[in-house]
A and B are shown apart, each in its own frame.
Chain A
């Protein structure tokens, strides 16, 4: 008998829990990557994330360095994708644009997830008037088309990256709130919450310690999908010329700027289009994988 093997009852409780958690995590990644297409999504997402992180190292030029004599240069060794209308290096602009898109999408989603979670829990925990008011607010925001709401807020707050993130966050919150409310309502009715309530624990502690961990997985799934949606919306509004404004390089604003030259230099327009499509496809594939791993009952839905 070796020294390391201990009878189950001799293991400490903590150790068992740690092992259990490790097994859960392993199973999570195993289910997540069991479909090959999810790996493609993960690789694609990682690729764009790395580009965003190391933008200054990857981009050969300053994205805003104007070289007016060298405008619309074709693809060459110096300028991988050629130059744009002001002679700026298109490749460098795309690289920096990755940063803007991912950052806006992630910040907006994170803020929306946090606020949506809190309000959703408040709605399901207190019920009654609070619940009704919050749901009415959600319904109102959902009755306005996302683009129209974003445009109205943009005209009030003005463009720019931070405002953009705030606006996208506002348009995402209602969905998150409803999801969190529904998922925490089912947790609320369980016996262990009742037990916690009866044992006189305070409300805040119950919410954070018991309700939140048990009802958060649909929110995580929703958040992975909402990053892609936010990026789509950001690039769309920038494309309309009202989101992130020129000269900040965002894929949408590059497409907007390049649109008149579709006939003469198609690469200028199509390159950012392809980047955008690839990033969102990768994000959604990865999101599908996470959804399958988190909640196997939703697989293929």
Chain B
């Protein structure tokens, strides 16, 4: 067990190091001159040379990478080309907003998705199954920004019930927070609900076919008890692996939802930094999201082993 955990931890570290090399290369390969980007184009040649040395640009790429990685480990991601401020200060609260959205929608989508999945599996072939499965298929085919725009049109423009944009933390103004967050959370969660529902359905159907379920049935146990005790418990194991995957999807999808509802999160910041060629910020965003996702995958793997002792650790 401990050996397995160390191995996975090691793998995660390696992945993070490779990601950091890639994101570092991203900046080094950019044709944009970092000195001009930071200090403007109207500086003298001497000032340019000083800055050039200061940014380690006179050294070969591996040396620069090590220097940069050292800074990153101390929490210094460099200076934003656009805001001329520390990158972490630019990111600041935005990471919190995005994480809040992602975690909230994960917490919403798993229980609902599992519940719907159980219904579709138990009522297999009946109308409840057909309707829910069809909805799940259709919903997961529609891009989240399309859902977001259609919702915006209906609830904000046509009905005028909800505000079109903005984000307030719940501890600042709870009522406002709920009004603002309903639509973004719905858009983020609906896809998750659909895919959790589909996965639950198929793994429940897999579990229902097992011999121990037939045995339980022939013992005369109540169907509800069998579903809860034998089918659900075993069918839920593959669902756990979806947590990491969903979080990764969510981190990707939040870009679109943040963009439509003008929520100041990492997604909006990334779009802005791509448009302004603000490489240090983009670099930090990619690094941080990769870090969060790797940790989520690691956590899911550990959880998987804890929940299902049958999994071999080799």
Contacts and interface: CB of A to CB of B under 8 A. Distances in A.
Interface of A: 37, 136-137, 139-140, 142-149, 151-152, 154-156, 228, 232, 235-236, 239-242, 255, 259, 262-263, 266, 269-270, 273, 276-277, 280-281, 283-285, 288, 300-301
A273 B144 CA distance: 11
B271 interface: yes
Contacts of B251: 145, 147-148
B29 A156 contact: yes
B277 A155 contact: yes
B185 interface: no
Contact of A276 (B15, B29, B134, B143): B143
Contacts of B137: 281, 284-285, 288
Interface string B126-170: 000000001001101111011001101100010000000000000
B279 interface: yes
Contact of A273 (B30, B149, B267, B297): B149
7 contacts: A139-B15, A140-B22, A143-B293, A144-B293, A152-B286, A277-B143, A285-B137
Nearest to A140: B18
Contacts of A270: 149-150, 153
Contacts of B29: 156
Given A145-B248, A155-B277, A240 B142 contact: no
Contacts of A263: 157
B141 A151 contact: no
Nearest to A258: B149
Given A143-B293, A143-B297, A284 B149 contact: no
A54 to B, nearest CB: 25
A276 B256 CA distance: 15
Contacts, number: 130
Given A149-B286, A236-B256, 9 more contacts: A136-B14, A136-B15, A148-B286, A148-B289, A152-B286, A239-B256, A281-B141, A281-B142, A301-B202
B23 interface: yes
Given A155-B279, A239-B256, A280-B142, A144 B286 contact: yes
B162 to A, nearest CB: 14
Nearest to A285: B137
B293 A241 contact: no
Interface in B231-250: 248-249
A239 B145 contact: yes
Nearest to B295: A143
Contacts of B273: 155
Interface in B100-141: 134, 137-138, 140-141
A32 B162 CA distance: 44
A146 B290 CA distance: 10
